[in-house]
Structure 1
Amino acid sequence: MTQIFASRYLPEPADPHALSSQPPPRADRPVGVLLINLGTPDHPDAKSIRRYLGEFLSDPRVIEIPQWIWQVILRGFILTRRPQALAPRYKEIWLEDGSPLLVWSQAQAEGIQQRLAASGVPVFVELGMRYGNPSVASAIDKLRNAGCERILVVPMYPQYAASTTATAVDCVAAHVGKMRDQPELRFVKRYHTDPGYIGALAAQVHQYWGRHGTPQRLLLSFHGLPRRTVEQGDPYHRDCMETAILLKERLGPDASRVHVSFQSRFGAEKWLEPYTEPTLREWARQGVTRVDVMCPGFLADCLETREEIQMQCRDAFLEEGGQQFRYLPCLNDDPAWIAGFTDLVKKQLTGWIS
Structure 2
Amino acid sequence: MLDSSAPATCPAHAPADHPKIKGEKVGILLANLGTPDDYSYWPMRRYLGEFLSDKRVIDYPAWKWQPLLQLIILTKRPFSSGAAYKSIWNHDKGESPLMTITKQQTEKMAEAMAQRYGDQVMVDFCIRYGNPSTQSKVRAMVEAGCQKILFVPLYPHYAGATSGTANDEFFRALMKETWQPAARTIAPYFDEPAYIEALAR
TM-score where L is the length of structure 2: 0.87
* 1:148 partner letter: C
Indicate which of 83, 88, 91 corresponds to 1:93.
88
Q: 2:178 is matched with which residue?
A: 180
Deviations 1:235-262 (A, max 9, x none): xxxxxxxxxxxxxxxxxxxxxxxxxxxx
Q: Following the alignment from structure 1 to structure 2, what is the Cα–Cα distance between the partners of residues 135 and 92?
A: 25
What residue ranges of structure 1 are gaps of 5+ in the alignment? 1-17, 204-354
Contact 2:32 2:127 in 1 (8 A): yes
Contact 1:33 1:154 in 2 (8 A): yes
Q: 1:352 is matched with which residue?
A: none
SS at match of 1:182: coil
Deviations 1:249-305 (A, max 9, x none): xxxxxxxxxxxxxxxxxxxxxxxxxxxxxxxxxxxxxxxxxxxxxxxxxxxxxxxxx
Indicate which of 167, 170, 174 corresponds to 2:168.
170
Q: Following the alignment from structure 1 to structure 2, what is the Cα–Cα distance between the partners of residues 88 and 187?
A: 35
Q: Following the alignment from structure 1 to structure 2, what is the Cα–Cα distance between the partners of residues 29 and 130?
A: 26
User: Does residue 1:68 correspond to 2:63, yes or no?
Assistant: yes
Deviations 1:112-146 (A, max 9, x none): 00111022342101110000001001111111121
Higher alpha-carbon Rg: 1
What residue ranges of structure 2 are gaps of 5+ in the alignment? 1-12
Contact 1:46 1:86 in 2 (8 A): no
User: Does residue 1:79 correspond to 2:82, yes or no?
Assistant: no
Q: Aligned-residue CA RMSD in angstroms?
A: 1.8
User: Does residue 1:59 correspond to 2:54, yes or no?
Assistant: yes
Post-superposition offset of 1:19: 6.2
User: Does residue 1:110 correspond to 2:117, yes or no?
Assistant: no
SS at match of 1:193: coil
Q: Following the alignment from structure 1 to structure 2, what is the Cα–Cα distance between the partners of residues 23 and 93?
A: 49
SS at match of 1:153: strand
Alignment of 1:201-280 (within 5 A): 201-203=199-201
User: Does residue 1:44 correspond to 2:39, yes or no?
Assistant: yes
* 1:37 partner letter: N
Contact 1:165 1:189 in 2 (8 A): no
SS at match of 1:149: strand
Post-superposition offset of 1:23: 7.2
Q: Following the alignment from structure 1 to structure 2, what is the Cα–Cα distance between the partners of residues 142 and 195?
A: 33
Q: Following the alignment from structure 2 to structure 1, what is the Cα–Cα distance between the partners of residues 200 and 52?
A: 34
TM-score where L is the length of structure 1: 0.50
Deviations 1:34-88 (A, max 9, x none): 1010010001111111000000000001001111111011001100001011222
Percent identical across equivalent pairs? 43
**Closer/same/farther in 2, CA of residues 106 and 19 from structure 1, 3 Å limit:** same
Q: Following the alignment from structure 1 to structure 2, what is the Cα–Cα distance between the partners of residues 124 and 118?
A: 12
Indicate which of 127, 130, 148 corresponds to 1:129.
127
